[in-house]
Amino acid sequence: MLRRKNILKIAIDSPAAAGAGTLAKAISKHYNLFYLDTGKIYRFIAYLKLSFPKKFNQKFLKLKIKSLKIKDLSKKNLLLDEVGTEASIISKEKNIRKIVHSLQVNLAYNPPKKYRGSCLDGRDITYKIIPDADFKFYITANIKTRAFRRYKELKTLKKKIAYSEVLKSIKKRDNSDFNRKISPLKKTKDSLLINTTNLNKRACFLKIKKIIDRKLKN
Ligand code: C5P
pLDDT at residue 156, rounded to an integer: 86
Atom of ligand 1 nearest to the CA of 92: 20
User: 102: how many CB neighbours lie within 10 A of its CB?
Assistant: 11
Q: Which tens digit of pLDDT belongs to each residue from 169-200?
A: 999 999 999 999 999 999 999 999 999 999 99
Instruction: Name the residue of 14, 22, 36, 42 to mutate for ligand 1: max ligand atoms within 8 A of Cβ.
Output: 42
Asked if residue 3 belongs to a domain, the reply is no
Give the C-alpha separation, 110 to 214, whole Å: 25
Asked if residue 216 belongs to a domain, the reply is no
Asked if residue 213 belongs to a domain, the reply is no
Asked if residue 112 belongs to a domain, the reply is yes
Question: In sequence order, what DSSP letters do the residues of 115-168 get, joined into one string?
Answer: SSEEEEEESSIIIII-TT-SEEEEEE--HHHHHHHHHHHHHTT-S---HHHHHH
Q: Which tens digit of pLDDT belongs to each residue from 84-126?
A: 999 999 999 999 999 999 999 999 999 999 999 999 999 999 9
Atom of ligand 1 nearest to the CA of 89: 12
Q: Which tens digit of pLDDT belongs to each residue from 45-71?
A: 999 999 999 999 999 999 999 999 999
Asked if residue 148 belongs to a domain, the reply is yes
Distance of CA 6 from the midpoint of ligand 1 (Å): 28
Asked if residue 180 belongs to a domain, the reply is yes
What total number of domains does the chain contain? Answer: 1
Asked if residue 214 belongs to a domain, the reply is no
Of all protein residues, whose CA lies closest to atom 4 belonging to ligand 1? 39
Atom of ligand 1 nearest to the CA of 13: 21
Look at the alpha carbons of 175, 179, 181, 183 in this order and tell me if their dihedral is positive or negative. Answer: positive
pLDDT at residue 41, rounded to an integer: 98
Q: Which CATH number goes with the domain that contains 125?
A: 3.40.50.300
Question: Collapsing DSSP states into helix, strand and coil, what is residue 192?
Answer: strand
77 touches 158 (CB < 8 A): no
Asked if residue 132 belongs to a domain, the reply is yes
Domain residues for the domain of 41 are 8-208
Residue 158 banded pLDDT, cuts 50, 70, 90 = low
| Predicted model pTM | 0.96
pLDDT surpassing 80 at residue 154: yes
Q: What angle do CA 112, 83, 187 make, to 5 degrees?
A: 65
Instruction: Name the residue of 81, 88, 188 to mutate for ligand 1: max ligand atoms within 8 A of Cβ.
Output: 88
Q: Which tens digit of pLDDT belongs to each residue from 72-89?
A: 999 989 998 899 999 999
Helices first, then strands: H and E counts in the chain: 8, 5
